[in-house]
């Protein structure tokens, strides 16, 4: 009966694709979905043995990597992009143009690739979640490259959510807009900060799992700020 049981599980199980599966937030998300018996595929620059399938992304040829995932003929109930990075600096900064290139590579390419894959592989009633940034809803003079990459990501969300994007019936496109995530990296570089205003990765992962399971989903195209105060996080429509 073992085989029959496995076949039954795979028919009942939902499947998620997580872009940026090996990052700090990506690991929290994949672990949360795995513990809820989802089939989890990951896409990142490294393979991840914990996952049901790992797509290793090429740093040189990001386009082919995305096409390969589409060509693999998997269909997803959820496509989640939690890949990305941060860079500071004003337009006058000597590193500004280099940081624009870095943010283009880390943030825009990953969001665009996830959007392309999702638009071609999402099942009816599926969900697409990208990672924007609360700061990028306005001017970001001290981190312009980061702000413009996240503003571009917000545009991908509104474009995908538009009726003309012709996603499957019942699709939901949304974004989480963190302020500061409670990661080991952030604690290292901002050791004196007030951690009670940082959003725990487990909260983000559990929220995404709830939405992916159809529970309390945002409306299509809605972006939600993750506002943490005194250790408690609320979802605030942008």
Backbone angles phi, psi at 161, to 5 degrees: -75, -15
> How far is the C-alpha of 64 from the C-alpha of 70, rounded, in Å?
10
- Length in residues, the chain: 238
Tell the burial category of 196 from Cβ atoms under 10 Å away from its Cβ (0-12, 13-18, 19+): exposed
Grouping H, G, I as helix, E, B as strand and the rest as coil, residue 3 is helix
Other Cβ atoms less than 10 A from the Cβ of 26: the count is 24
**Closest-CA residue to 183 (of 168, 162, 161, 201):** 201
Q: Which residues contact 49 (CB under 8 A, 6 or more apart)?
A: none
**76 an active-site residue?**
no
By the 8 A CB rule, do 78 and 123 touch? no
> How far is the C-alpha of 141 from the C-alpha of 52, rounded, in Å?
42
Determine which one of 19, 76, 146, 189 is catalytic.
146
The residues annotated with a catalytic role in the active site are 146
């Amino acid at each position: 009966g073992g085989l029959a049981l496995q076949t039954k599980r795979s028919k009942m199980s939902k499947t998620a694709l997580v872009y940026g599966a090996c990052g700090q937030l990506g690991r929290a998300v994949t672990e949360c979905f795995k513990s809820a018996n989802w089939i989890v595929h990951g896409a990142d620059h490294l393979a991840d043995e914990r996952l049901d399938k790992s797509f290793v992304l090429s740093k040189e040829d990001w386009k082919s990597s995305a096409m390969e995932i589409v060509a693999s003929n998997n269909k997803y109930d959820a496509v989640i992009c939690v890949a990305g990075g941060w860079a500071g600096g004003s337009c006058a900064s000597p590193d500004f143009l280099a940081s624009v290139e870095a943010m283009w590579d880390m943030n825009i390419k990953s969001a665009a690739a996830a959007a392309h894959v999702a638009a071609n592989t999402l099942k009816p009633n599926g969900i697409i979640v990208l990672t924007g940034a609360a700061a990028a809803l306005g001017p970001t003079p001290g981190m312009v490259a980061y702000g413009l990459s996240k503003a571009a990501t917000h545009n991908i969300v509104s474009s995908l959510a538009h009726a003309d994007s012709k996603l499957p019936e019942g699709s939901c496109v949304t974004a989480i807009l963190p302020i500061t995530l409670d990661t080991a990296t952030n604690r290292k570089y901002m050791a004196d900060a007030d951690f009670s205003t940082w959003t725990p990765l487990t909260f983000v992962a559990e929220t995404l799992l709830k939405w992916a399971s159809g529970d309390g989903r945002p409306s299509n195209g809605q972006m939600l700020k993750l506002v943490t105060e005194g250790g408690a996080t609320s979802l605030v429509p942008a």
